Structure 1
Amino acid sequence: MSAPLLALTLTATSAGAAPAEAVPAARDTARVRPAELARLAQRLVDAGAPGVIVRVTDGSGRPVEIVRQAPWAAREQRLAAGDEFRMGSNTKTMMAALVLQLAAEGRLALTDPVEKWLPGQVPGGSAITLRMLLTHTSGLYDYTLDPAVLPAILGRDDRRWTSRDLLAVGVRHAPLFPPGTRWSYSNTDYAAVGAVLEAVTGASLASLVRDRIARPLGLRHTYFATGPHWRGRYAHGYEPDAAHMPDAVPERFRDVGGVRRGAYVDVSGNDPGWGGAAGAVVSTARDWSRFTSALLSGELLPPAQMAELRRTVPMDPERPQDGPGAGPGIETGDTPCGTVWAHDGGMTGYTSTSSSDRDGRRSAVVLVPTEFLFEFDADPELVAAHQALLGAAVCAMFGRPAPDGPSAPGRERDGQDG
């Protein structure tokens, strides 16, 4: 889950970071320091990334957009700031927004047990509430760790997965802990959320995203993918081929399907349907900035639901008071430059990170068209370059220079974000 950004937030507080609320950020757009962001973006590409899109706004001026790309990838397709991108687990933020909208309309309640909406589909569902699903405290096993889903993750299975299919994979495993007693990231939570959304509304997730979020906000390049096809110009995503995959990547993840491009495989034609409500949304850096701004500013939700969005549970059991917290589809924590509300995502060929301040006035989005090397910390130089860029983008969002010193270390996770 959210490994690069979470590592940044976990280490920041222990280093004595001052949250944004404690020290007001400067509002001078010159403090965004685009030259420094460009340098770090190029460093990431030089370390082996196929490319990167960076979009930062400090809330007081025109956003800074930076695009860098490796020459070999540019020969295939020139990356652009407005390219559509598979947002992976950032999808969860949008799904949570939909649930909170329905709660505001009185069509469901976060205290509803899963059993109410999905009778007989989740063992122990009477003790699992919708809020537990949204905050990853249900204890449900992560379906992306089941071997049945691996061929789809690798792009070697074109089966169309439904929310109920993915939920069924997750719940055939024993739960990790009693509901509500711990926090543990699980894509199965959001497979269940997707199934609940469909049960409550009788509508598809694609239509809910379109009618409740994309159209009202004017997001022309944001949609829930229902197949491998894109609607507009898109970023090509890549993974190393089996011969060039680092040893740190588990053997079962090395044979990725797609179109060979030298030492890489272009996976942009693969179907992201296995991500479902946990990860199938497509968007752009510009659209996603607009969405997070609308969400955190209260444009999409009334005050009662905004309070629910910001009500978090501890993610680190050793730091329940001052550590990072998880709300519905969003995470928060302190960085050296301020407190962020954020999420990120990984889907084969695509890594995305989105950060905002509490009110959605400032945002930073970093999109990199590759994933496995980050997911498994397989290339330390690449991971370090990525974290340096993420840290600088967050600081630029707050109008502050990035602090000196090494970036926070990443964390390996044996699985996929969805």
Structure 2
Amino acid sequence: MALATGLSTALVACSGADTSAMKTSTGQDASLDARLAPLAQKAADTGSLGVIVRVDRGTGRPLAIARQTAWTKADHHLAANDQFRVASNTKTVTATLILQQVAEHTIGLSDPVEKWLPGLVPHGPDITVKMLLNHTSGLGDYLLTPQFLPTLTGQEKRTWTAEELLAITPQQDPPAAPGEKYSYSNANYAALGLILEKATGKSLADLFEQKIIKPLGMKDTFLSTNADFSPGKTHATGYEPDAQRLRRILPPELHVPKGTAFAGPKRPHGNTDTTAVDSSWSWAAGGLVSTAADWQRFQTALLSGKLLPGAQMKQMLTAVPAPEEGGGYGLGLMEVNTPCGTVWGHTGGQPGYSSEIYTDKSGRRSAAVLTVTNFGIKEPKAAAANKALVDAAVCTMLGKPLPTESATPSR
């Protein structure tokens, strides 16, 4: 959600669809495939470029499909088990690790940030760990600052530390006092990553591996330290609009410099291949690489109570109003109201990669939609097709009719 949500509040590909687009699931219900596959292909051809959809209804084999627009196949044949930058979905893992430490009485939700990070966070004595978790800290975001924008677009290769990112984090605009209101910021989770390392004496990568990845058997998941994916594993190719399209997408009030563009090889129809853009700077806020299957394994374990005691799970699910996210925001977990009901999960967005991954409150059912562009689905037609696909995936997960199939969808 680093870009998908953090920028959406501030901020047509080639048709010629190949109906034999790669299908990677086996044993799936043909009726469900017939329901979702056309929407996936339409989204791909309307600007999403490529999508992975995986739906687990809690019984039988999950439905898993991959669809892409024709010209992208020259770069890579998308598959449902491709590795993918899940970006700000990482925040849910970071929050889980914090709450595990809360359960062990190592960290307190009411602890002032100054206790753990003296002098590093503006207004640290007044900001609590809980405020970082639910984005009510009053901190702004560093993403579009002049110092960081060249790194975000891949035009500058620089390794940022969390301390350096906190140092360039601006105040919210308009300013808000700690605890006053929700406002999404990656800086909150940069601070939480540092708190975790200080409280445990372990690196964040080791905590991810020892507390989440290894116990859950997430064999295709790791914390990125550069632009590389796992050797021997296939990964999705990511794209973003070129400078001309990007300028039309970004609203003028962002004051993004003219000519701003993502680094990478030029591709057809005003696109740029951004797969090699290094986003390891996102770290605790968005640095994990995973697959749809691995991430659904994590979310299912979390929501079904396997990773946190009941008291901490209740804290995680206590949300503050966040209308821009479609509902509310708990502690590293989004509450989203869809046409077919309320779901829990997170979104993610980085150059070339966008994702929405949700479960029901019991953790028994899950739906993932991974898209190989982030800014590309901000264009109106692409946004509408992508939303229709996400809604359909969630409705399928919940066993309910698609919004177009029901005159009075439940909420």
Bin of the TM-score, shorter chain as denominator length: 0.7 to 0.9
- C-alpha displacement of 1:149: 1.0
Tell me which residue corresponds to 2:9: none
Runs of 5+ in structure 1 lacking a partner?
7-28, 318-322, 407-418
Tell me which residue corresponds to 1:223: 222
Within a 5 Å distance, the mapping from 1:69-84 to structure 2 comes to 69-84=68-83
- C-alpha displacement of 1:309: 1.1
Equivalent position SS for 2:312: helix
Compared CA separation, residues 332 and 299, structure 1 to 2 (3 A): same
- C-alpha displacement of 1:399: 0.7
Compared CA separation, residues 170 and 244, structure 1 to 2 (3 A): closer
Tell me which residue corresponds to 1:87: 86
Higher relative contact order (CA 8 A, sep 6+): 1
Partners of 2:2 and 2:387 lie apart in 1 by 12
| Counterpart amino acid of residue 239 in structure 2 | Y
- C-alpha displacement of 1:2: 8.2
| Counterpart amino acid of residue 356 in structure 2 | T
Identify which range, 338-347 or 244-253, moves more after superposition.
244-253
Tell me which residue corresponds to 2:66: 67
Tell me which residue corresponds to 2:315: 308
Q: RMSD across aligned C-alpha pairs, in angstroms?
A: 2.5
How many aligned residue pairs are there? 377
TM-score of the two chains, using structure 2 as the length reference: 0.86
Partners of 1:117 and 1:248 lie apart in 2 by 40
Within a 5 Å distance, the mapping from 1:188-199 to structure 2 comes to 188-199=187-198
Tell me which residue corresponds to 2:280: 273
Within a 5 Å distance, the mapping from 1:281-300 to structure 2 comes to 281-300=288-307
1:149 aligned onto 2:148: yes
Partners of 2:226 and 2:5 lie apart in 1 by 29
Q: Which runs of 4+ in 1 moved over 3 A?
A: 1-6, 29-32, 171-175, 243-246, 249-254
Q: Is this contact kept in 1: 2:45–2:68, CA < 8 A?
A: no
Equivalent position SS for 1:404: helix
Compared CA separation, residues 275 and 264, structure 1 to 2 (3 A): same
Tell me which residue corresponds to 2:159: 160
1:350 aligned onto 2:353: yes
Q: Is this contact kept in 1: 2:162–2:191, CA < 8 A?
A: yes
Tell me which residue corresponds to 1:388: 388
Partners of 1:103 and 1:235 lie apart in 2 by 36
1:181 aligned onto 2:180: yes
- C-alpha displacement of 1:313: 1.4
1:248 aligned onto 2:246: no
Identify which range, 323-332 or 41-50, moves more after superposition.
323-332
Partners of 2:244 and 2:339 lie apart in 1 by 39
Compared CA separation, residues 198 and 32, structure 1 to 2 (3 A): farther
- CA deviations 1:49-72 (Å, max 9, x no partner) are 221000001112211001101221
- C-alpha displacement of 1:353: 0.5
- CA deviations 1:88-130 (Å, max 9, x no partner) are 1111111101111111122111111101100111122111110
Partners of 1:76 and 1:142 lie apart in 2 by 33
Equivalent position SS for 1:52: strand
- CA deviations 1:35-84 (Å, max 9, x no partner) are 11101001101213221000001112211001101221111111111111
Percentage of pairs with the same residue: 47
Equivalent position SS for 2:307: coil
Partners of 1:276 and 1:361 lie apart in 2 by 29
- C-alpha displacement of 1:33: 2.3
Partners of 1:187 and 1:246 lie apart in 2 by 23
Q: Is this contact kept in 2: 1:33–1:401, CA < 8 A?
A: no
